[in-house]
Amino acid sequence: MIYGLIGNSKEIIDNLPYFPILPKIDDTKKDVDQHMSFDYLGLSDELLSAIKDAGYSEPTPIQKKAIPGVLQGRDILGIAQTGTGKTAGFTFPMIDILAQGRARARMPRSLILEPTRELAAQVEESFIKYGKNSKLSCALLIGGTDFVGQVKKLDKGVDVLIATPGRLLDHMQRGNVMLSGVQILVVDEADRMLDMGFIPDIEKICKMLPKKIQSLFFSATMPSEVKKLTDSFLKDPREFEVSSPTQTAVTIEQHLVRFKGTDSIKRQVLRHLLKAENVTNAIIFCNRKKEVKIVNKSLQVHGFSASELHGDLHQSTRMEVLTAFKEGKTKILVASDVAARGLDIPDVGHVFNFDVPSNPEDYVHRIGRTGRAGKKGTSFTLSTQLDKKYLDGLLKFLAKEIPLYNVPNEALEDNKTQRQSSSEANNSASKHHQKTKNTSRHNSINKKLTKKQIHHDEKPIKKETSQDSNSLEKTLGMGGHMPDFLTR
């Protein structure tokens, strides 16, 4: 009896589902950015190497949600559209699960149903690309291609069968394929299947599958027919919803501020917006670390409660900065994309894009830091002639305009002109302001600003004392004082 068990044990073990031990993530100790890397999802080294070769540095939201669940053997119900990275969301874990075991003739080990030939072909390409370090065999059963060739492939045994419902039923009826060995089923684009009249075919196919099976359903929307299917078929599924990368939350009021000028003028416009708008707290995104540092210093010099978050900072400093911001001790966080990715900061009222992001998807991620969970949020994107290329790319990606926001002309005037006119007009008033509490702190921060940190196209901030900034505020009609809620 015991010998009998041992005799069969290899086969039993081969056919066991693959449950990797997922690494525990300690949020307090590890690097914020590392959390977001693929390394923490429980995928094999071979696959991680293929992912690296594909050029992906970070999992998309759907991948973060789907991959661990699939690896743990859970059923999945993912509400997601094409473009969210969902194909890799199921392809990656399937490659690792199927790496254990072997295929038998005409008995595929997994089945992926796609509504169209093109989608099916794309999924096959994904398995070839990401599965290059594993020896999985794939077959594509779609209309319009060689039927006999498909049978030959099935005869050899396939690990991954990708099919459109009609062609699969055709093969099933001829006895070319049996679904009794399928361990994982994927129904992709279920709502599109419904539109194309495939739901009865899917029901027929599902009846031929073994009872104990892991099922992954993906759909962009959840019409009642799809819901009925998933309710009857999925067992305690892990459900999640991700929005398309081009879909921005409706609760975010977006503004585009277009003007010509240097980075110094840009900072002036930023300060204007921070004061003129009812900003309680904000994240300001810059494209480069260097800019993050300059913008942060400049804001501090002008008396704002700001801090910076970028990759050059030590982990403990990053955590301190983040905690201070979360607790409301700092009102403004100037950040780079990489450093801010994956941060869950509730209740951010405003997001400012100091630059138009070079990658349009970052725009959605950036402004998505506000307007969360149905709350109202506002975003401002500053764009000068230097951002034109990125702005064109962004508007094309969004396929819609961002409403324009006009700042007063004074906010766009060169500092030097403003300094001259305002110092004449406010000579005596500025003397008084020089003695204010903030002055010594501003000056000490000013001293720390080296020439190296100043952009080539602007006057050094060093010369812009609190006297100047107070004068500037007067020129802009802001009464010469900082709103309390933005200062420390």
Window 41-70: residues binding ligand AMP (CB under 6 A): 56, 58-60, 63
Shorter beta-carbon distance to ligand AMP: residue 87 or 183: 87
Which residue, 33 or 410, has its beta carbon nearer to ligand AMP?
A: 33
Minimum gap (Å) between residue 480 Cβ and ligand AMP? 48
Which is nearer to ligand AMP, 8 or 57 (by Cβ)? 57
- Minimum CB distance to ligand AMP smaller for 246 or for 453: 246
Question: What's the min distance (Å) between Cβ of 359 and ligand AMP?
Answer: 10
- Residue 394 binds ligand AMP, judged by CB under 6 A: no
Binding mask 214-253 for ligand AMP (x = CB under 6 A): ----------------------------------------
Nearest residue to ligand AMP on Cβ basis = 87
Smallest distance from ligand AMP to CB 89, Å: 7
Q: Work out how close the CB of 25 gets to ligand AMP at its nearest, in angstroms, rounded to a whole number.
A: 18
How many residues sit close enough to ligand AMP to count as binding (CB under 6 A)? 12
Q: CB of 49: closest distance to ligand AMP in angstroms?
A: 15
**Contact between 84 and ligand AMP (CB under 6 A)?**
yes
Amino acid at 19: F
Nearer to ligand AMP, 66 or 301 (CB): 66
Instruction: Based on the shown chain and the rule CB under 6 A, indicate whether residue 85 belongs to the binding site for ligand AMP.
Output: yes
Binding residue (CB under 6 A) for ligand AMP from 42, 64, 76, 86: 86
Considering only 83-91, 158-166, 208-216, 260-268, which stretch makes contact with ligand AMP by CB under 6 A?
Answer: 83-91
Q: How far is the CB of 51 from ligand AMP (least distance, A)?
A: 7
3-state SS of the chain is CHHHHHHHHHHHHHHCCCCCCCCCCCCCCCCHHHHCCHHHHCCCHHHHHHHHHCCCCCCCHHHHHHHHHHHCCCCEEEECCCCCCHHHHHHHHHHHHHCCCCCECCECCEEEECCCHHHHHHHHHHHHHHCCCCCCCEEEECCCCCHHHHHHHHHHCCCEEEECHHHHHHHHHCCCCCCCCCCEEEECCHHHHHHCCCHHHHHHHHHCCCCCCEEEEEECCCCHHHHHHHHHHCCCCEEEECCCCCCCCCCEEEEEEECCCCHHHHHHHHHHHHHHCCCCCEEEEECCHHHHHHHHHHHHHCCCCEEEECCCCCHHHHHHHHHHHHCCCCCEEEEEHHHHCCCCCCCECEEEECCCCCCHHHHHHHHCCECHHHCCEEEEEEECHHHHHHHHHHHHHHCCCCCECCCCHHHHCCHHHHHHHHHHHCHHHHHHHHCCCHHHHHHHHHHHCCHHHCCCCCCCHHHCCHHHHHHHHHHCCCCCCCCHHHCC
CB of 84 to ligand AMP, least distance (A): 5
In the list 32, 70, 88, 120, the residue contacting ligand AMP (rule: CB under 6 A) is: 88
Nearer to ligand AMP (CB atom), residue 83 or residue 328: 83
- We find the least distance from the C-beta atom of residue 251 to ligand AMP, in angstroms, to be 24
Select 56 or 405, whichever has its Cβ closest to ligand AMP.
56
What is the spatial distance between Cα 104 and Cα 328, in angstroms, rounded to a whole number? 61
Nearest approach, Cβ of residue 444 and ligand AMP (Å): 43
Closer residue to ligand AMP (CB): 56 or 259: 56
Residues binding ligand AMP (CB under 6 A): 56, 58-60, 63, 82-88
